[in-house]
Amino acid sequence: MREILQPGPAEALASLLDVDLPDLDRDGLPPLWHWFYLLDRPAQADLGPDGHPMRGKVPEPGRRRMWAGGRVRTLGPLRCGLPAERQTEVLSTQEKQGRTGRLTFVVTGHRIVQDGAVVVEEEQDIVYRDAASGQVEAAVEEPEVPVAEDEWAIDVSPTLLFRFSALTYNAHRIHYDRDYARDVEGYPGLLTHGPLQALAMAEAARRRGSAGRLAFDYRLVSPLFDHQGMIVRADESGTAVRDRHGRRTATGTMRSLGR
């Protein structure tokens, strides 16, 4: 997949999260902002009942899809105004038996090339499970934990989730269709995107001055629903997302790769 990168998606993301827009010509896109470019745009006829593409995917259609984590290496500036190409391949698949049934773990690799050089290397960990069988029991929520001065609270509204889905061309209904999420998937609310949590962690690290050649590894450890909020923190030990009750849902680490 190849396209000339335009500033529009980056400008839209900065407005969505109310973060500073960097100099896209000089510094390039911040870590993980490449997720808003070089997007798959499947035909409507190729979408399954859950809004996720069915044709040409691993594993077989009809399984529930969850983003579990990933690793991103930013090897150089990815600049707007220039063409870029994304190369994608399935690196591995593994079958396991979980507490709720059969699980398929898929690792997908991406490389983004611009001006003859690889500027982004990425691996995404995706888990597929069998269809849900009934309502998922909501966790007992503890008292709310106040937001600290060094934490970033993001209002996870249905509007924010819908706009994030639109920016990433993600039609997965668990993020914007509350009736579907509750009645079919068995969730207690709209599911907050895993990439949104990862991006928030990367942005929190960027606020601390992270720049240049970087490696960002992240893991999604628990589902986060819209009514639970999203609170992000980054320090010298890493970065994490929690809900408003203190339950951790994602962790990440960002480190410099040197010159």
pLDDT in tens, 168-180: 999 999 999 999 9
Percent of all residues in the chain with a pLDDT value above 70, rounded to a whole number? 92
Six-digit token string for 63: 């399984």
The predicted structure's pLDDT at residue 47: 87
CATH homologous superfamily, domain 2-256: Hotdog Thioesterase (3.10.129.10)
* 105 close to 78: Cβ distance less than 8 angstroms: no
* 108-128 residues labelled b (16+ CB within 10 A) or e (exposed): bebbbbbeeeebbebbbbbbb
In the DSSP assignment, the letter for residue 29 is P
Contact 189, 228 (CB under 8 A): yes
What does the pLDDT look like over 47-102, one tens digit per residue?
A: 888 888 876 565 666 678 889 999 999 999 999 999 999 999 999 999 988 776 78
Cα torsion for 36, 40, 43, 44, to the nearest 10°?
-50
- How do residues 119-166 score in pLDDT, each as one tens digit? 999 999 999 887 765 555 555 667 999 999 999 999 999 999 999 999
pLDDT confidence tier of residue 251, bands split at 50, 70 and 90: very high
pTM of the model: 0.92
Of 135, 134, 128, the closest CA to residue 64 belongs to 128
Give all strands (DSSP E) within 16-130, no chain letters.
64-74, 83-98, 101-114, 117-129
Residue of 156, 155, 152, 161 whose CA lies nearest to 232:
152
